[in-house]
Amino acid sequence: MKISNLPFGLTNWADIEPTSHPGVSGAALWRTCQFGDIRVRMVEYSPGYLADHWCEKGHILLCLEGELETELADGRRFVLTPGVSYQVADGAEPHRSATRTGARLFIVD
Protein backbone atom coordinates (compact mmCIF):
# COMPACT_ATOMS: atom_id res chain seq x y z
CA MET A 1 0.00 0.00 0.00
CA LYS A 2 1.32 3.39 -0.92
CA ILE A 3 -0.13 6.36 0.93
CA SER A 4 0.19 9.61 -0.96
CA ASN A 5 -1.53 13.01 -1.08
CA LEU A 6 -2.82 12.59 2.46
CA PRO A 7 -2.13 15.54 4.75
CA PHE A 8 -1.92 15.06 8.50
CA GLY A 9 -5.36 14.85 10.08
CA LEU A 10 -7.21 13.62 13.14
CA THR A 11 -10.28 11.40 13.19
CA ASN A 12 -12.64 11.48 16.16
CA TRP A 13 -14.47 8.19 15.62
CA ALA A 14 -17.29 9.25 17.95
CA ASP A 15 -18.15 11.99 15.42
CA ILE A 16 -18.54 9.54 12.51
CA GLU A 17 -22.16 8.44 11.97
CA PRO A 18 -22.36 4.62 12.01
CA THR A 19 -24.03 2.55 9.31
CA SER A 20 -25.61 -0.80 10.15
CA HIS A 21 -24.75 -3.95 8.19
CA PRO A 22 -26.82 -7.00 9.18
CA GLY A 23 -25.31 -10.47 9.13
CA VAL A 24 -26.99 -13.85 9.07
CA SER A 25 -27.38 -13.05 12.76
CA GLY A 26 -26.50 -9.87 14.61
CA ALA A 27 -25.21 -6.70 13.00
CA ALA A 28 -22.01 -4.76 12.37
CA LEU A 29 -21.88 -1.00 12.94
CA TRP A 30 -19.33 0.66 10.65
CA ARG A 31 -17.84 4.10 11.19
CA THR A 32 -16.04 4.73 7.91
CA CYS A 33 -13.56 7.27 6.56
CA GLN A 34 -12.35 7.23 2.97
CA PHE A 35 -8.90 8.64 2.14
CA GLY A 36 -8.47 8.31 -1.62
CA ASP A 37 -8.30 4.56 -2.29
CA ILE A 38 -7.88 3.71 1.41
CA ARG A 39 -10.91 2.90 3.51
CA VAL A 40 -10.47 3.06 7.28
CA ARG A 41 -13.17 1.73 9.61
CA MET A 42 -14.01 1.29 13.25
CA VAL A 43 -16.38 -1.68 13.33
CA GLU A 44 -18.46 -2.95 16.24
CA TYR A 45 -19.97 -6.42 15.96
CA SER A 46 -22.96 -7.27 18.15
CA PRO A 47 -22.91 -10.43 20.26
CA GLY A 48 -23.99 -13.39 18.13
CA TYR A 49 -22.87 -11.79 14.84
CA LEU A 50 -22.24 -14.07 11.85
CA ALA A 51 -21.28 -12.58 8.47
CA ASP A 52 -23.70 -13.17 5.62
CA HIS A 53 -20.95 -13.53 3.00
CA TRP A 54 -17.44 -14.74 2.30
CA CYS A 55 -15.25 -11.65 1.96
CA GLU A 56 -12.47 -11.55 -0.64
CA LYS A 57 -11.34 -7.99 0.10
CA GLY A 58 -7.87 -7.49 1.52
CA HIS A 59 -7.65 -6.03 5.02
CA ILE A 60 -5.37 -5.18 7.86
CA LEU A 61 -7.52 -5.73 10.92
CA LEU A 62 -6.79 -5.12 14.62
CA CYS A 63 -9.04 -6.39 17.41
CA LEU A 64 -9.50 -3.68 20.04
CA GLU A 65 -12.15 -5.28 22.27
CA GLY A 66 -13.98 -8.58 22.58
CA GLU A 67 -13.28 -11.73 20.61
CA LEU A 68 -13.67 -12.34 16.87
CA GLU A 69 -13.49 -15.67 15.10
CA THR A 70 -12.35 -15.55 11.49
CA GLU A 71 -13.04 -18.59 9.34
CA LEU A 72 -11.27 -19.15 6.02
CA ALA A 73 -13.07 -20.90 3.16
CA ASP A 74 -10.64 -23.83 3.50
CA GLY A 75 -11.96 -24.46 7.03
CA ARG A 76 -9.16 -22.94 9.09
CA ARG A 77 -10.32 -20.79 12.01
CA PHE A 78 -8.51 -18.06 13.92
CA VAL A 79 -9.53 -16.24 17.09
CA LEU A 80 -8.63 -12.60 17.54
CA THR A 81 -8.53 -11.03 20.98
CA PRO A 82 -7.54 -7.48 21.96
CA GLY A 83 -4.14 -6.61 20.54
CA VAL A 84 -4.17 -9.36 17.88
CA SER A 85 -4.35 -8.47 14.19
CA TYR A 86 -4.45 -10.20 10.82
CA GLN A 87 -3.65 -9.19 7.29
CA VAL A 88 -4.84 -10.71 4.02
CA ALA A 89 -4.51 -9.63 0.38
CA ASP A 90 -7.34 -8.89 -2.05
CA GLY A 91 -8.62 -12.17 -3.52
CA ALA A 92 -6.15 -14.28 -1.52
CA GLU A 93 -8.29 -16.27 0.92
CA PRO A 94 -12.04 -15.86 1.32
CA HIS A 95 -12.91 -15.27 4.96
CA ARG A 96 -15.88 -14.49 7.18
CA SER A 97 -16.30 -13.24 10.73
CA ALA A 98 -18.34 -14.32 13.71
CA THR A 99 -18.44 -13.42 17.39
CA ARG A 100 -20.35 -14.84 20.33
CA THR A 101 -19.52 -11.98 22.70
CA GLY A 102 -19.18 -8.97 20.39
CA ALA A 103 -16.03 -7.24 19.21
CA ARG A 104 -14.64 -3.84 18.22
CA LEU A 105 -12.11 -3.70 15.37
CA PHE A 106 -9.97 -1.17 13.54
CA ILE A 107 -9.76 -2.05 9.84
CA VAL A 108 -7.76 -0.62 6.93
CA ASP A 109 -8.60 -1.77 3.41
Per residue in 57-86, pLDDT (tens digit) is: 999 999 999 999 999 999 999 999 999 999
Q: In terms of Cα–Cα distance, which of 62, 20, 22, 23 is closest to 40? A: 62
Domain boundaries, the chain: 18-108
Q: How do residues 9-66 score in pLDDT, each as one tens digit?
A: 999 999 999 999 999 999 999 999 999 889 999 999 999 999 999 999 999 999 999 9
**Which CATH number is 18-108's, of 1.20.1260.10, 1.20.58.340, 2.60.120.10, 3.40.50.150?**
2.60.120.10
Close Cβ partners of 107 (under 8 Å, ≥ 6 residues apart): 40, 41, 42, 43, 59, 60, 61, 62
CA 14 to chain centroid, in Å, comes to 17
Q: What is the DSSP letter of 13?
A: G
CA distance 102 to 109: 21
Q: What is the DSSP letter of 93?
A: S
